[in-house]
């Protein structure tokens, strides 16, 4: 096959995959947003503020063509919503009757999620002073604030044997770490919108 034909075919396949990925991410964002809209009416306090902040950032990402980042922001928001709505007993734990085998599996999954979240967060590029000022002026919690709060609450919930809540929070942190990984993999200059996601 001639080189030009191979190059055209490769470009066509890559373009098709890119378009498919974008469509897939748009659908993911739509589904996550729908579930959040159903559940967010039951949220109060900081979970409501965090979910609202992530949903607003996701809307901005969609407007800027960042469907993948938007989908991951909304995935994190959805997990935060489920964590906030997880039932509590008087003793603070609802998962006390979990078998030792299941506890071990939960602990493994929990540690793996936290490890992924932290590894991706480490890949984040250093932000400029102007980006930090832009973020500080925002009335919403920053991505970094939500990420750090989520990790802290995940560890507290796990220590209290509130395993459902802990896993939801760990999944939210992993999704927020995924957004950081997308940002660090991006090529070219950073937009003002990307700076609003500064960590």
> Dmax over Cα atoms in the chain, in whole Å?
72
Q: Note the pLDDT tens digit of each residue in 14-56.
A: 445 566 678 899 999 999 999 999 998 898 888 999 999 999 9
Q: Which residue in 35, 22, 101 sits closest to 62, CA to CA?
A: 22
pLDDT at 173 over 60: yes
Q: Which residue in 172, 184, 176 sits closest to 84, CA to CA?
A: 172
Q: Note the pLDDT tens digit of each residue in 70-99.
A: 999 999 999 999 999 987 644 445 556 778
66, 71, 181 from 186: Cα distances, Å = 11, 16, 9
Domain ranges of the chain: 3-196
Alpha carbon distance 199, 195 (integer Å): 9
């Amino acid at each position: 096959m001639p080189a030009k034909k191979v190059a055209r075919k490769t470009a066509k396949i890559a373009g098709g995959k890119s378009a498919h990925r974008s469509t897939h991410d748009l659908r993911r964002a739509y589904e996550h947003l729908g579930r959040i809209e159903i559940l967010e009416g039951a949220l109060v306090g900081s979970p409501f503020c965090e979910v609202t902040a992530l949903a607003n950032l996701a809307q901005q990402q969609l407007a800027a063509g960042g469907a993948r980042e938007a989908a991951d922001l909304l995935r994190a928001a959805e997990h935060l919503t489920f964590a906030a709505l997880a039932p509590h007993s008087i003793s603070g734990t609802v998962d006390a009757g979990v078998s030792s085998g299941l506890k071990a599996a939960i602990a493994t999954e929990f540690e793996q999620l936290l490890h992924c979240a932290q590894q991706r967060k480490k890949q984040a590029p250093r932000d400029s002073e102007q980006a930090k000022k832009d973020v500080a002026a925002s009335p919403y919690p920053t991505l970094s604030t939500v990420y750090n709060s989520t990790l802290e609450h995940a560890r507290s919930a796990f220590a209290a044997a509130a395993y459902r809540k802990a896993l939801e929070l760990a999944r939210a942190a992993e999704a927020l770490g995924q957004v950081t990984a997308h940002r660090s993999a991006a090529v070219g200059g950073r937009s003002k919108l990307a700076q609003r996601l500064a960590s």
